[in-house]
Amino acid sequence: MNNFKFFVLCIVLILSLYQTPVFAEGKQIEIGVEDKEKLGKYVPLDLKFTNSDGKVLSLREIIKRPTLISLVYFNCPGICSPLLNGLTEVIDKVAIEPGKDYDILSISFDHKENSVVATKWKDKHIGDLKRKIPVDSWRFMTGDSASIRQLTNSLGFYFKKEGDKDYLHAATLIMLSPHGKITRYLFGTDFLPFDIKMSTIEASRELDRPTISKILDLCFKYDAQGRKYVLNLTRIVGTLMFLTIGIFATYLIKSGKKKRKSHFDQGDTI
Query: 65-107, pLDDT tens digit by residue?
Result: 999 999 998 888 888 889 999 999 999 999 999 999 999 999 9
Q: Which of 24-28, 180-184, 227-231 has the lowest mean pLDDT?
A: 24-28
- The Cα–Cα gap between 150 and 43 comes to 9
Residue 234 has pLDDT above 80, yes or no: no
As to burial, measured by CB atoms within 10 angstroms (0-12 exposed, 13-18 middle, 19+ buried), residue 173 is buried
Instruction: Find the length of the chain.
Output: 270
Q: Which of 57-61, 98-102, 185-189, 248-252 has the lowest mean pLDDT?
A: 248-252
Longest dimension (CA), the chain: 102
The model's pLDDT over 181-205, given as tens digits with 9 standing for 90+, comes to 999 998 888 889 998 999 999 898 7
The whole-number pLDDT of residue 171 equals 87
The whole-number pLDDT of residue 3 equals 53
E strand spans, the chain: 32-33, 48-50, 56-58, 67-72, 103-108, 138-141, 157-158, 160-162, 166-168, 172-176, 182-187, 220-223, 228-231
E strand spans, 142-227: 157-158, 160-162, 166-168, 172-176, 182-187, 220-223
Q: What is the DSSP letter of 42?
A: B
The whole-number pLDDT of residue 108 equals 94
pTM higher than the cut 0.75? no
